[in-house]
Structure 1
Amino acid sequence: MDIGVLLPTGKAQWGTTGDPRELIAFAREAEESGYSSLFANDSLLSPRIETLTMLAALAPVTERVTLGTGALLPFLRRPVQAAQALASIDLLSGGRLAVAVGAGFPGRFGRPLYELSEVPWARRFARLDETVALWRALWNGETSFHGEFHDLAAIPAATAPFRPGGPPVWLGGATPAALARTGRLYDGWLPYPPDPADYRSGLAEVHRAAADAGRRAADITPALFISVRIDENVADGREAMDAYAHANYGMPLAELEKIQAVVTGAPEDVLAGLARYRDAGARHIVARLGALDLPSQREQLRRFAALLPELT
């Protein structure tokens, strides 16, 4: 498996006295420690370093790791401008960008973001798919695009990405409709189901939809977004992860783990939890480290790095 880490770009992960400029050193340490990828999250409703700015800063100071969005919310940006920014990061990184996208979901991180962006909530999934299609058209050098939401003629030549056709685009989400759309249209799948059995069945649906669309299952990266905390034992790990859940989501761990994948405990507990997803078909893990300041984030980064030989 490829093992990546979600960068602690949110202020809740820096701590009250943290300096976000330390994220550059954090990323370099992750690459040197053997991680396969570095992902950055996206939002407007919590203080954080903007996703594409973070990845652009990392492009020239890293050499090997994939730089990913987890997940980018395209409706927050004008689509042509976003295509240009993504192509630029792919170019500057030498073709190391992976773009996981989502449409948001009801609640705090859904409809309010659409209102701030002055984009309709209705038909958001169709808008997302069309935006990705527009990106790909621009990355392929096309100068016009005609869709339901975007009707653009005589588009000036855009920056070409490093890779012909542009970076791979993954989809988050695990509803039946999201599984079908992933199989038909996307290059990867980045969900966070709390039960590995749901991951297995969801991946089977993705592969079925891909086959129906004449695509190969091997062309779709099966990834997983999961919160990880390594501690002395399960009880200590859950206590720390509960504080993390409250700080980041305003909810206890008991509620968070009903909707998101979480593994915690001693190293052997974490290995066992991740192995269940590996056995269910996951091949690229993106781990969000459960720590609330940058020194603790780096400690978790090192503890998790010690497990990489047994996972990869």
Structure 2
Amino acid sequence: MSNQIGVLLPSAVPGTSGETILTWARLIDEGPFSSLGAADRYVYVNHELMMTMAAAAAVTSRVRLTTAALLPPLRPTPLVGKQVATLVSFAPGRVTLGVAVGNRVNDYESSGREWSRRGKILDEQIEYLAAMRDLKGEENCVGPECAAFELLIGGASDPAIRRLLAHGDGLVSGGVKPEVFAFEAYAAMTAWEAAGKPGRPRLVASTWFSSSERAGDLAEARLASYLAKGGPPEPVLSGISRGREGVEAAVRAYRAQGADEVTFFPLVDDVSELEWLAEVVRDLPDIERGEPAPDFSMFGGAEPSVKGRHA
């Protein structure tokens, strides 16, 4: 099957136990999915991202482990390096590090990190991560010697595009509509080509899902809770892909705009929800990947600058 479909662990669903997360990880590894992942929050009820990924590494052997997305500026740089190197040592060849600055001021206030410097901090940390792969033996004061890992950059602002071109392998997009993802994908691919980089950047889109087709249900309440202190604003928010038809429509829409992989975020932790999604994914026909074709009429008909389009 040509479709690459990822799914996040329910580590950000309130009340989820560690045992449930490990059960999901095992089933994802056995299922039709290309990756499993987890989201990062500081001031929320979620399980800590990197510890969750390490636990998932211990009970899986096939799927890629994707941070979607890690917010490195919330952590001291040496800690980020040590965590990444440790995760890679647990799951060599299977780590995709999606990184972003985040958009929740309270996360930065609670972590004691500077909100105004978050972009510069991330720039420094990406340079650090890139350099540590060359540290060997006694020169390595970061952690285990770090093998290769994939690095995806969140956002399509000018700074994000610079990070992509300097050290990134592609784009990770979080919870925005396909027509908005089209602009992010177009910005990434256009900059990549203009820089003369070989091939194309890998493009990963994401949205929430629910087997339930009923509005006003638990899934909707959970999403509202998750977005209460930040996240994509309403005009660009993807919302919930509901039911079998909704999931297939989401895959088709993101694939049409160039997505190599579409990742689904759960809103309930019941294992039956994952089993349902696995069945839907198995039944999907091969869906051809297109090229991003943003609707520039949204910006008055002229091709806009990517600057400021996504925080």
Q: Same fold (TM over 0.5)?
A: yes
Find 2:239's aligned residue among 262, 267, 270: 262
- Give the Cα–Cα distance (whole angstroms) in 2 for the partners of residues 82 and 157 of structure 1: 9
Residue 299 of structure 1 aligns with an amino acid whose one-letter code is S
Residue deviations 1:244-273 (CA, integer Å, cap 9, x gap): 22332339xxx9653332343331232123
Find 1:156's aligned residue among 115, 138, 141: 141
Once the two structures are superposed, the pairs formed by residues 54-133 of structure 1 within 5 Å of their partners are: 54-105=52-103, 109=104, 111-133=105-127
- Structure 1 residue runs without a partner (length 5+): 144-153
Rate the CA distance shift 1:247–1:112 in 2: closer, same or farther, 3 A: closer
Rate the CA distance shift 1:227–1:209 in 2: closer, same or farther, 3 A: same
Kept in 1: contact 2:81–2:142 (CA 8 A): no
- 1:209 maps to 2:191: yes
**Partner in structure 1 of residue 131 of structure 2:** 137
**Partner in structure 1 of residue 278 of structure 2:** 305
Kept in 1: contact 2:130–2:167 (CA 8 A): no
- Give the Cα–Cα distance (whole angstroms) in 2 for the partners of residues 194 and 48 of structure 1: 21
Q: Secondary structure at the match of 1:9?
A: helix
- Give the Cα–Cα distance (whole angstroms) in 2 for the partners of residues 238 and 33 of structure 1: 30
Kept in 1: contact 2:10–2:267 (CA 8 A): no
Kindly state the Cα deviation for residue 136 of structure 1 after the two structures are TM-superposed. 1.4
Kindly state the Cα deviation for residue 180 of structure 1 after the two structures are TM-superposed. 4.9
- Give the Cα–Cα distance (whole angstroms) in 2 for the partners of residues 217 and 122 of structure 1: 35
- Give the Cα–Cα distance (whole angstroms) in 2 for the partners of residues 30 and 206 of structure 1: 29
**Partner in structure 1 of residue 299 of structure 2:** none
Residue deviations 1:142-181 (CA, integer Å, cap 9, x gap): 79xxxxxxxxxx87364212x3xx3111111243543454
Rate the CA distance shift 1:142–1:63 in 2: closer, same or farther, 3 A: closer
- Give the Cα–Cα distance (whole angstroms) in 2 for the partners of residues 158 and 138 of structure 1: 9
**Partner in structure 2 of residue 225 of structure 1:** 206
Residue deviations 1:175-229 (CA, integer Å, cap 9, x gap): 35434543443112111363322222321211121123231242x2100121111
**Partner in structure 2 of residue 147 of structure 1:** none
**Partner in structure 1 of residue 296 of structure 2:** none
Q: Secondary structure at the match of 1:123?
A: helix
- 1:290 maps to 2:290: no
- 1:243 maps to 2:243: no
Kept in 1: contact 2:38–2:68 (CA 8 A): yes
Kept in 1: contact 2:9–2:37 (CA 8 A): yes
Residue 220 of structure 2 aligns with an amino acid whose one-letter code is D
Kindly state the Cα deviation for residue 289 of structure 1 after the two structures are TM-superposed. 1.6
- Give the Cα–Cα distance (whole angstroms) in 1 for the partners of residues 130 and 152 of structure 2: 13
- Give the Cα–Cα distance (whole angstroms) in 1 for the partners of residues 72 and 178 of structure 2: 28
Residue 210 of structure 1 aligns with an amino acid whose one-letter code is W
Alignment RMSD (CA, Å): 2.7
Q: Secondary structure at the match of 1:306?
A: helix
Residue 10 of structure 2 aligns with an amino acid whose one-letter code is P
Rate the CA distance shift 1:36–1:120 in 2: closer, same or farther, 3 A: same
Rate the CA distance shift 1:176–1:229 in 2: closer, same or farther, 3 A: farther
Kindly state the Cα deviation for residue 4 of structure 1 after the two structures are TM-superposed. 1.0
Residue 227 of structure 2 aligns with an amino acid whose one-letter code is Y
Residue 5 of structure 2 aligns with an amino acid whose one-letter code is I
Find 1:276's aligned residue among 246, 253, 278: 253
- Give the Cα–Cα distance (whole angstroms) in 2 for the partners of residues 142 and 116 of structure 1: 35
- Give the Cα–Cα distance (whole angstroms) in 2 for the partners of residues 180 and 186 of structure 1: 9
Kept in 1: contact 2:176–2:206 (CA 8 A): no
Residue 210 of structure 2 aligns with an amino acid whose one-letter code is R
- Give the Cα–Cα distance (whole angstroms) in 2 for the partners of residues 142 and 32 of structure 1: 35
Rate the CA distance shift 1:157–1:88 in 2: closer, same or farther, 3 A: closer
Kept in 1: contact 2:99–2:153 (CA 8 A): yes
Q: Could you state the TM-score of these two structures normalised by the residue count of structure 2?
A: 0.81
- Give the Cα–Cα distance (whole angstroms) in 1 for the partners of residues 43 and 277 of structure 2: 29
Question: Percent identical across equivalent pairs?
Answer: 24
Kept in 1: contact 2:207–2:241 (CA 8 A): no
